[in-house]
Amino acid sequence: MSERTATEVEGIRVPGDKSLSHRALMLAPLARGTSRIRGILDADDVRSTAGCLRTLGARVPEDWSGEVEVPGPAELHDASEDLDCGNSGTTARILSGIIAGLGVEARLDGDASLRRRPMERIVYPLQAMGAKIDYEGEEGHLPFRIHSRATGSLRTMRHIPKVASAQVKSCMLLAGLAGGVRMEVVEPGRSRDHTERLLEAMGAPVEYHPVGEDAPLDEGTHVTLDPEGWDGRLEPLDFDVPGDLSSAAFLAVAALAAGRPIRLPGVGLNPTRSGFLDVIRRAGARVEVHDERSSCGEPRGDLRVEAGELRPFRVEPAEIPTLLDEVPALVALAARIPGESEIRGAEELRVKESDRLALLAENLDGLGVDVEEREDGLRVSGSEEPLRGSVRTGGDHRIAMAFGALSELPANRIEFDDRECVGVSYPGFWEDVRRAVGG
Ligand code: S3P
Q: For residue 349, how many C-alpha atoms fall within 13 Å in the half-sphere facing its CB?
A: 31
Catalytic residues: 325
Locate the ligand 1 atom nearest the alpha carbon of residue 324 and give its number.
9
Long-range CB contacts for residues 400-404, cutoff 8 Å, separation at least 24: 400/429, 401/247, 401/250, 401/328, 401/329, 401/426, 401/429, 401/433, 402/250, 402/253, 402/328, 402/329, 402/331, 402/332, 402/360, 403/332, 403/363, 403/367, 404/250, 404/254, 404/429, 404/430, 404/433
Ligand 1 pocket test: which of 46, 119, 165 has the largest number of ligand atoms within 8 Å of its C-beta?
A: 165
- Between CA 126 and CA 131 the distance in angstroms is 6
Positive or negative CA dihedral for 229, 29, 193, 107?
A: positive
Are the C-beta atoms of 134 and 106 separated by less than 8 Å? no
The residue type of 165 is: S
Cα of 167 vs centre of ligand 1, distance in Å, is 5
CATH class of the domain comprising 18-240:
alpha beta
- Intrachain domains 18-240 and 245-437 with the same fold: yes
Give the H/E segment covering residue 388.
strand 388-391
Locate the ligand 1 atom nearest the alpha carbon of residue 352 and give its number.
9
- Between CA 118 and CA 212 the distance in angstroms is 31
**DSSP per residue, 86-139:** TT-HHHHHHHHHHHHHHT--EEEE--HHHHHS--HHHHHHHHHHT--EEESSST
Are the C-beta atoms of 50 and 60 separated by less than 8 Å? yes
Domain spans in the chain, listed from the N-terminal domain onward: 18-240, 245-437
- Between CA 194 and CA 340 the distance in angstroms is 34
Cα of 166 vs centre of ligand 1, distance in Å, is 5
Task: For domain 245-437, give the fold.
Answer: UDP-n-acetylglucosamine1-carboxyvinyl-transferase; Chain (3.65.10)
Cα of 382 vs centre of ligand 1, distance in Å, is 28
pLDDT in tens, 332-345: 999 999 999 999 99
Indicate which residue's Cα is closest to atom 16 of ligand 1.
165
**Closest by alpha carbon to 322, among 273, 277, 376, 279?**
273
Burial 344-359 (b: 16+ CB within 10 A, else e): bebebbebbbbbbbeb
Phi/psi class of residue 216: alpha, beta or left (left: φ > 0; alpha: ψ in -120 to 50)?
beta
User: CB count, 10 Å around CB of 66?
Assistant: 9
Q: In the chain, which stretches have pLDDT less than 70?
A: 1-10, 210-218
pTM of model > 0.85: yes
Q: What is the pLDDT of residue 7?
A: 52
Positive or negative CA dihedral for 107, 137, 422, 358?
A: positive
Task: Name every protein residue with a CB atom under 6 angstroms from any ligand 1 atom.
Answer: 19, 90, 165-168, 170, 191-192, 324-325, 348
Indicate which residue's Cα is closest to atom 15 of ligand 1.
165
Locate the ligand 1 atom nearest the alpha carbon of residue 18 and give its number.
11
Q: What is the pLDDT of residue 308?
A: 87
Cα of 254 vs centre of ligand 1, distance in Å, is 23
Helix or strand or coil: residue 363? helix
Ligand 1 pocket test: which of 49, 90, 114, 195 has the largest number of ligand atoms within 8 Å of its C-beta?
A: 90
Helix or strand or coil: residue 348? helix
pLDDT in tens, 33-60: 999 999 999 999 999 999 999 999 999 9
Cα of 388 vs centre of ligand 1, distance in Å, is 32
